[in-house]
Amino acid sequence: MSKFRLLTIPALLLVTALSACSVSSNPGGSAEAGDQKSAGPVAIGFSQATQQSPFYVQLREGAEAAAKEAGATLFFADAGGDVTKQNNDIQDLITRQVDVLLVNPVDPQGVQPGIAAAKAAGVQVVTVDRPVPEGAVAHVGRDNKAMGALVGKRLSEALGDKGGKVIEIRGDAGGAVARDRSAGFHEAVAGNDKIKIVEGPYSDYVRSKAVTAMQDLLQVHPDVAAVYAHNDDMALGALQVLKENGKDDVLVSGVDGLMEAVKQIPDGQYVATALNDPISLGSKAIETVLKVQKGEQVEASIDAGTELIDKANAAGFVGEGEFAQASTK
């Protein structure tokens, strides 16, 4: 019998180790993987697309802070840009018996198996930043088409009657955010027939990928007049390449209100960005999740608002935060 016990103990330890997954939890924060659901009043599962961008890091922090303030437990999982992993993460969160799911999808279509699994388990879903075609009771985000339009209108004004070639560095293939930011921009500059848009590669909102893309694009389009990127992180990557190649006259614009970009605007080359404060977005998402959990009626689409940041008002947004915050005027 003692020999049998000695053999089974390592086996039990192995099973225990294999049962751990990538989901972390803590009241309003993150802890070691493998934690179980707390006894808190509300357990929220947050499946996020990626942490490979300052915006998404801050979105998580905003959600964590709001959950902590509400006394809720937040179970967090980072999909790392992999939709298969995200579907598995959602299954893990459901297994942990979360009350509501908050999902920031890698791919709106690709995440549908996870959304369907949540529905089958009776767990309601709220999406944030990126919507899904169906399966969510509410979406919390900003009007990305309006953001693209705001920046496009301002860049078109800056280029003037001369116009020129504009390189567009895109976000993610098939993503609603990238689609809308592109559509809004294209519509805004359509009135200036001297502007020609060159659609660059998808760089997944990551600066290093935008640097590589811009290096290649500049070789093919040395006559570029401006760059529009679907987020400021990629726009800053493009700006870096332009400066390295002495292209100080090429205008740059982005979206999100990343403070590093806002601080560049007074110098003139970085023309504009659009406000998209991720901290307040994460907070609004948690506020909506808690209302859903309580059975309150919520709007199907909740717009957190935006505004243009350019040379006329950039000084009013400069601060110590990583992103510009909405003005209190």
The whole-number pLDDT of residue 240 equals 98
Give the other-Cβ count within 10 Å of 270's Cβ.
Answer: 25
The tens digit of pLDDT for each residue in 265-288 reads 999 999 999 999 999 999 999 999
- The stretches in the chain having pLDDT less than 70 are 1-40, 327-329
Instruction: Give the pLDDT score at 24.
Output: 61
125 within 8 A of 103, measured Cβ to Cβ: yes
Q: What is the pLDDT of residue 84?
A: 97
At 325, list the tokens: 């915050």
Residue 21: alpha-carbon gap to chain centroid: 23
pLDDT of residue 235: 98
Q: What is the pTM of this model?
A: 0.77
